[in-house]
Amino acid sequence: MGLRSKEEGKEEEEEEGSSLSLGPYRYNSPFVQVCLIGLVCFCCPGMFNALSGMGGGGQIDHKVGNNANTALYTTFAVFGVLGGGIYNLLGPRLTLLAGCSTYVLYAGSFLSYNHNQGQAFVVTAGAILGIGAGLLWAGQGAIMTSYPPPHRKGSYISLFWAIFNLGGVIGGLIPFILNYHREKAASVNDGTYIAFMCFMAAGTALTLTILPPARVVRDDGTRATSMTYSNVVTESWEILKLFVNWKMLLIVPAAWASNFFYTYQFNNVNGLIFTLRTKGLNNVFYWGAQMLGSFGIGYFLDFSFKSRRMRGLVGIGAVALLGTAIWAGGLANQLRYKDGNWKGDPLDFKDSRGRFAGPFVLYFSYGLLDAMFQSLCYWVIGALADDSETLSRYSGFYKGVQSAGAAVAWQLDNHKKQLLSQLIVNWSLTTVSYPLLAVLVLLAVKDENNAEDGDSKMPKPSALPGSVDDGDARGKN
């Protein structure tokens, strides 16, 4: 039995004295729990994204930020893969609590760097954050893909993505407001990092509100999953099997690409060609575009066609067409500064007028594409199984490969690789991903609710105490 099961096992056995209607706004409903994990990610990775989106972690010299991100994504690659197994051992609360606590340390390391220029602390904090992020995102992936009912996974993924990226919007406003009058290129001030730390600490506390999957009851009376907590030997073996799982191998290019392009977009578009205050404003719209993109693709993947397989295939085609157009626009913009030196003064939203519009729209479009691409990937993963146990491993594998790609990307930028080459690699990786995702949908995604992995582990209403089939239309919390 896992380390956390004794404490949470007692909670699962508690009998609530009061009756509870099976509406969507119950504390133990998938809707509320997905909103809560969205708020956790709003405060922690949402603020981290806003900080990274400044380019170089808000520092004028990107080297320390690049080295910290390399350390971060190297450990993230390992613990992303291991995270699914750790989630199955510890459960959501301990896994998420341990993961979120590392974000505060990371933001604090940049605050320290503002005063003593100590790179070692920042890089070490980055490595520790990679461990924590692996735990957080494996838990998040399991919750987001297994708690919702199978026919509404796209909608719940988009709901999560919107709440999470609202953190990037608010996080973008923080440096914009606090650095508004600092028009010259400079590192962000202490107040910016302190504000990020406060949000991250709040997100860490919010992890205690997340329920284990066996206590989450859907509107039809079924539990989200009937999983029992695993053991180290089982999880080690199941994680090793992922590396020869043909479904996971087909998703590797998409996983690798999905964070690989952040380095180029953050450092060499937003971080290179705009003024300090405009970088913050751009991030407000970048993450706002993610909210729009996730809602659009989520609605399409749930409601556009009766056939789930058809929804997936057409969704892949739509994202592929949009992605091709956006990367083509990126190429046109990149040809204006092939040598990496922006001609003229950095663009400012207030002073540059017409020159600002094109690069701004491009950066906004990058955010739109990112949300649609990653929401699509999560929808495909969520369609491969129903149970939290399996999906935590799949999500962890996805995040591990994603983070390995990001670690490589940050070092490519640190070694001053040509920006045009970086763009072409990003475009190529996403383009290769689409046909492989289409093959995965054709071969592994079924039109009925049960996924290809076999019978769903989701207990039926008749198997639940207090279910409709037992003569009681109320669920237990």
Separation CA 174–CA 178 (nearest Å): 6
Q: Yes or no: say if 186 and 27 are a contact pair by the CB < 8 Å rule.
A: no
- pLDDT of 35 higher than 90: yes
State how far the alpha carbon of 203 is from the alpha carbons of 145, 198, 351, 436, in Å: 21, 9, 37, 36
Q: What is the mean pLDDT of the chain?
A: 82
pLDDT digits (tens, 9 = 90+) for 74-95: 899 899 888 888 888 888 899 9
HEC-encoded secondary structure of the chain: CCCCHHHHHHHHHCCCCCCCCCCCCCCCCHHHHHHHHHHHHHHCHHHHHHHHHCCHHHCCCHHHHHHHHHHHHHHHHHHHHHHHHHHHHHCHHHHHHHHHHHHHHHHHHHHHHHHHCCHHHHHHHHHHHHHHHHHHHHHHHHHHHHCCCHHHHHHHHHHHHHHHHHHHHHHHHHHHHHCCCCCCCCCCCHHHHHHHHHHHHHHHHHHHHCCCHHHCECCCCCECCCCCCCCHHHHHHHHHHHCCCHHHHHHHHHHHHHHHHHHHHHHHHHHHHECHHHHHHHHHHHHHHHHHHHHHHHHHHHHCCCCHHHHHHHHHHHHHHHHHHHHHHHHHHHHHHCCCCCCCCCECCCCCCHHHHHHHHHHHHHHHHHHHHHHHHHHHHHCCCCCHHHHHHHHHHHHHHHHHHHHHHHHHHHCCCCHHHHHHHHHHHHHHHHHHHHHHHHHHCCCCCCCCCCCCCCCCHHHCCCCHHHCCCCCCC
What is the reported pLDDT for 260?
A: 92
Average pLDDT on 459-463 reads: 43
CB atoms within 10 A of CB 33: 25
CA 343, chain centre distance (Å) = 34
- What pLDDT, on the 0 to 100 scale, is given for residue 187? 65
Read off the amino acid at residue 447: D
For domain 24-469, the CATH architecture is Up-down Bundle (1.20)
Q: How many angstroms separate the Cα of 164 from the Cα of each of 42, 113, 158, 279, 462? A: 4, 27, 10, 20, 35
- Asked if pLDDT for residue 463 goes beyond 60, the answer is no
Of 49-58, 331-340, 355-364, 445-454, least confident by mean pLDDT is: 445-454
pTM: 0.75
C-alpha 294/C-alpha 290 separation (Å) is 6
Q: Find all residues with CB under 8 Å of 220, minimum gap 6, and list them.
A: 22, 149, 461
Q: Find the distance separating the first CA and the last CA of the chain, reported in whole Å.
A: 22
Structure tokens at 349: 């939203």
Q: What is the pLDDT of residue 229?
A: 57
Query: Shortest CA distance to 349 belongs to which of 277, 419, 421?
Result: 277
Q: Is the pLDDT of residue 469 over 70?
A: no
Most confident of 45-54, 404-413, 461-470: 404-413
The whole-number pLDDT of residue 43 equals 94
**pLDDT reported for residue 395:** 86
| Highest-scoring range by mean pLDDT, 155-164, 250-259, 291-300 | 250-259
pLDDT band (50, 70, 90) for residue 207 = very high
The encoded tokens of residue 91 equal 């459960």
Residues in the chain: 477
Instruction: Count CB atoms within 10 A of the CB of residue 283.
Output: 29
Tell me the two tokens of residue 17.
């004295």
**Signed CA dihedral, 155, 160, 165, 170: sign only:** positive
C-alpha 113, offset from chain centre: 27
Question: How far, in Å, CA of 420 to CA of 100, rounded?
Answer: 36
Going from N- to C-terminal start, the domains of the chain cover: 24-469
Output Rg (C-alpha) for the chain, integer angstroms. 22
Q: What is the pLDDT of residue 447?
A: 76
Measure the CA–CA gap between 358 and 346, rounded to whole angstroms.
14
Measured CA to CA, the distance from residue 82 to residue 75 in angstroms comes to 11
Going by C-alpha positions, the residue among 73, 65, 164, 61 that lies closest to residue 109 is 65
Minimal CA–CA distance to 234: which of 88, 56, 408?
88
Q: What is the pLDDT of residues 124-151, one digit of tens each?
A: 999 999 999 999 988 888 888 788 887 7
Asked if 131 contacts 388 with a C-beta cutoff of 8 angstroms, the reply is no
Spatial distance between the Cα atoms of 301 and 310, rounded to a whole number of angstroms: 9
